[in-house]
Amino acid sequence: MPPILRRAQSFAALLAIFLLAIIISPVAADGSRIFLELGNLTDILRQISLIGMISLAMTFVILTGGIDLSVGSILALSTALTAMFLTRWWPTASYGSHIALAIAAAVAVSTLAGALNGVAIATLRVQPFIVTLASMIGLRGLAKWLTNNENIDIGFGRDVAARFAALFREKAIVIGAFAGAAAVFWTLLERTVFGRQVRAIGDNEKAAEYTGLPIRRTKVWVYSLTGLLSGVAGVLYAAENHQGNPNAGVAYELDAIAAVVIGGTRLAGGKGSISGTIVGTLIMGVLTNMLRLNDVDSNVEMMIKAVIIVLAVAVQREKNA
C-alpha cells in the first residue's frame, strides 16, 4: 500500500471517532452539540498539547529503534525547576528576563538529561529501555529531592511567577507551542539529512554502520531532543497547574508511546511519520473528551483506551503486511 493510503487509514480512524463524538455528544439548552463548541474543541487541543509535544520527540526515538521512558520524570524535573526559579530566586532583573531565564534554565537542564540518556545508550551500548528506565527513576528522585517532595505553588498574585503562569497557560501559547514543535519536527524528519539518518538507523543499524552514517551522534541528538521537548512541556505544565509538582507526568511516557504507535510508527523502528503521531495524539484526545462529556467513569475510560490501542495497531499491522 502506498504511504498516502496508509496515512489516510489513521485519518479515517480519527474521522470515525470524531463523528462518533458528534453523534453521542450531549446537547446544550439551545440545541447545539457541546462537543462541537469552539471552546470544547480548543480545550481538546490544549489538553493534548503536552503529551503531543513529547510524542513528537518520542516518534524520533522510536524511529531509531529505541524507547524513552524518562520523559515523565524529565517533565517533572522541568516543572519543579521552573517553579523554583520563579519563586525562590530573585535575580535583579526585569520580569521578562526573569521569566526567560527560568524557562531557559529548566529547558537546558531537561535537554542535558536527555543528552545523558543518549550518551549512555550510544557509547555504553546499554539498551534504551534500561537506560531510560534508570533515568526515569533517578530524575524523579532528583525532582523530589530538590523540592523536598513538596509542590511549589506559583500563586495568583502580581508577582513574576503569577505573571508567568497567566501568560503560559493561554490556550494560544500552549497550542501554538505544540503546533510550532510539530512543524519543526515534521520538517526535521521529512526534509533534513538528520531525519533521513534517524529513519535509516532504525530501519537497519548494521547497514547504517556499513554506510558510514553517524549512528552515535544521531542517537545523542534524538534523546537530547526528547529531553528538550519534555522540558518545554514541563514549563507549560507548571503554568497550567500553577505549581511545580515533582510528582507530575507519571505515566506520560506510556501515553506518548501509545500515541506514536496508534499513529502507525513501528515500535521496532525505521518506519513512521510525524503526521501519524499527530493523528494518534488527536485520537486519544478526542476519545478522552468524548467519554468525559458523556460522564463515563475515568476508570472505564482507561479500559476503552486499552482496547483502542490494541485495535489501532492490529488493524495497521494487517494492512501493512
Partner 1 sequence: MPESLLQVADVDKRFGGVAALRGASLDVRAGEVHALMGENGAGKSTLARIVAGAVRADAGRFLVDGRPAAIASPLDAQRLGIAIIHQELDLFPNLSVAENMVIGNLCFHEGPWARFRRMAEFCRPFLEQVGLTCNPHEPAAALSIGHRQLLAIARALSMNARLLLMDEPTSSLFDDAVERLFGLIRGLRSRGVSVVYVSHKMDEIFRIADRVTVLRDGQTVGTRPAASTSPGELIGMMVGRELDLAGGPRERGRGEVVLEVEDLTTSRLRNVSFTLHRGEVLGVAGLVGAGRSELGAALFGLDRIRGGGIHLDGVALAPRSPREAMRRGIGLVPEDRRTEGLMMSMSVRENASLATLGRIARLGFLRGARESAEFQTVSQQLALHCPSPAACVSHLSGGNQQKVLLARWLLLHPEVLFLDDPTRGIDVAAKQDIYRLIEALAAAGKAVILVSSELPELLRCCHRILVLREGRVTAIYDAAEATQEAIMASATVAGAPT
Closest CA to 197 of 181, 213, 177, 175: 213
Binding string, 256-275, against partner 1, x = CB under 8 A?
A: ----------x---xx----
Stretch that binds partner 1, among 33-41, 187-195, 254-262, 292-300 (CB under 8 A): 187-195
Binding flag, residue 94, partner 1 (CB under 8 A): no
Give the residue with the Cβ less far from partner 1, 75 or 188.
188
Q: Which of 191, 292, 317, 319 binds partner 1 (CB under 8 A)?
A: 191
Tell me which stretch binds partner 1 (CB under 8 A): 19-27, 95-103, 133-141, 186-194.
186-194
The one among 47, 214, 241, 247 contacting partner 1 by CB under 8 A: 214
Angstrom distances, CA of residue 233 to CA of 101, 106, 175, 176, 261: 16, 10, 11, 12, 20
Within its chain, how far is the Cα of 311 from the centroid?
22
Phi, psi for 33 (deg, rounded to 5): -85, 125
Neighbouring-strand partners of residue 153: 243
Say whether residue 11 binds partner 1 (CB under 8 A). no
Residue 138 engages partner 1 in binding (rule: CB under 8 A) = no
**63 vs 248, beta carbon nearer partner 1:** 63
- Asked if 112 contacts 182 with a C-beta cutoff of 8 angstroms, the reply is no
Please report where in the chains the cell 511545580 appears, as a residue: 244
Residue with cell 496508534: 262
Question: Site for partner 1 (CB under 8 A): which residue of 18, 42, 108, 194?
Answer: 194
Q: Does 210 bind partner 1 (CB under 8 A)?
A: yes
- C-alpha distances (whole Å) from 255 to each of 54, 100, 173, 280, 301 are 9, 29, 22, 10, 13
Quote the CA–CA distance of 284 and 277 in Å, as a whole number.
11
Query: CB-wise, 150 or 209, nearer to partner 1?
Result: 209
Distance of closest approach, residue 202 Cβ to partner 1, in angstroms: 9
Sites of contact with partner 1 (CB under 8 A): 191-194, 196-197, 199-200, 203-204, 206-214, 266, 270-271
